[in-house]
Each structure stands twice: as C-alpha cells, then as structure tokens.
Amino acid sequence: MSKTEITIYKIGGGIIDDAAELSKFLQLLAGTSGLKLLVHGGGKGASTMMRELGLVPQLINGRRVTDAATLDIVVMFYAGKTNKQVVAALQQLGVNALGLSGADGNVLQGTKRPVKDIDYGFVGDLTSASVNAAFLQQLLKAGITPVLCPIIHDGSGHLLNTNADTIASAVAVALAGEFDVTLHYCFEKNGVLRDINNEQSVIAEINSDSYAVLKQQGVIADGMLPKLENAFAALNSGVRKVIIGHALNIGSDLHTVLCLK
C-alpha cells in the first residue's frame, strides 16, 4: 500500500524578513495540494528588537549566542510575533494552520548544547527521539497544517533556541515511516548553482554520486555544504526527495532536486 504524500517546507530568514515576499510565498503554499507542514526560521527581527532594547546580538560563525535576555526576545519574536503572523496569514488563505513551539504538545524536545570551545547559551540540539511524530500525525490527519518555529524545550521547563534547518530535517525523517515525505528548503536562490554568480545556472538534479563529484570540483562549497549534508542525511533516513529552491518558485521546475540515485 502506498503512503500518503506530505511536503515539509522550510523558509529562511530572508523570506521572513520581507513582508511582501513572505505574503507571496504563503499564497503559493496555500495553493499547493496535499498534506503540508511548515518550519520557519527567525530572521533578523529579533536582532532589531534587541538593539532597540539596548542589547547587542552576538553571532559566532553565523550562529546566535543565546543568553537569558536573548532567549526572552527570540521566544517572543519567533514563537510569538512571527509564528502567529504566519498562522494568521494562512488562515486568511483558507489553510487551517496551527502554530507550535517545541513545547506545545511536546512536539520537539531536545538538549542544551554542551559547552566545548564556545558557549552558545540556551541553544538546543535534537536527538533521534526529539520529534513527537505521533502528535504531528494526529494533526495532519485532522486536516491541520502545523507551523513550527525554531524554539524547542528540554523537558525540564526550559526553552531553547534551535536551528530551523535541523528541525525541518528531523521532522521529515520522523514522519518518513508513516508518509511519503518531500522536504523543500525554500530560500533566496533558485537552487544549487553551478556558478554562484549566475542565478540561471541551476543544477536540476544531484544524486549521491554527482554530489561527491561536485564537492571535489569545488562547485558545492561554503554555506551550501552543511545544507546538502543535512539533505543527504535525510534521504538516507527514509525521506524520498529533497528540493532546494527559491521560495517563490514553488510549483515550477526551477529548483534542484536531491535524490539518492
């Protein structure tokens, strides 16, 4: 018996930060058929709010250091303002969305990142048992579209700031046992580019063999490497297909499809 299809969409900060782009993306999302789940990142709004309150955002290698004051703000901004604005927009478009942090329904429980060379503060890491797949399945089968923000909990009453790419991958893997899962990373580029300066040089398909060649050639490098490493890890854990492309190209053929063969 074939599995029911579901698409998990992850939108990054660049789309969240642009109200017009976000509105267009959500309209496209609302127009897609079948089951869907949305994971959103935080964007720059929390940093703007911190500066307005006289606090200085700290980033190391692009990752936010989350002390107690920062945690208060990112929870307010990501789990509150951003999440509820997305949910309200989807409701207006006829999508019965439900906004969730990881604490809601115990949907995402993780651990505080251990201190090694850097103390990231209240930042969470996921484990293989982090995702409450049964709860998400109940929501999806009831016709509800979950909208997950990048805030999880540790089971001991503490909230943690967590990478949204990682959340999307973990949720995709957790649901792959029940559903035929496509994971769609939506950002500001048309896909994986053969020439980073040419938006039209999209590589239409990458499998595990061609990925190794592209890495060796240096075509895939820098920030795209961890994204694709996560993508192939998901594919090796039961996710059927991963798509990387521009948030406003949903439904078009202009994107990169990642598959094992």
Cβ contacts of 120 within 8 Å, gap of 6 or more? 60, 63, 64, 65, 66, 113
Residue 45 assigned to a binding site: no
Residue 106 assigned to a binding site: no
Cβ contacts of 89 within 8 Å, gap of 6 or more? 22, 23, 26
Cβ density class 210-229: b for 16+ within 10 Å, e for less: ebeebeeeebbeeebeebbe
134 and 177 in contact (C-beta within 8 Å)? no
Consecutive H or E run containing 27: helix 19-30
Q: Beta strands 111-112 and 151-153: pairing type? A: unpaired
Identify the three-state secondary structure at position 88. Answer: helix
Residue 13 assigned to a binding site: no
Please tell me the distance from the alpha carbon of residue 48 to that of residue 39, in angstroms, as a whole number. 22
Q: Beta strands 111-112 and 124-125: pairing type? A: antiparallel
In what side-by-side order are the strands of the sheet with 97-100?
Answer: 97-100, 145-148, 35-40, 4-11, 179-187, 241-246, 256-258, 205-206
Please tell me the distance from the alpha carbon of residue 120 to that of residue 204, in angstroms, as a whole number. 37
Residue 42 assigned to a binding site: yes
The annotation places the binding site at 42-43, 64, 161
The annotation places the binding site for substrate at 42-43, 64, 161
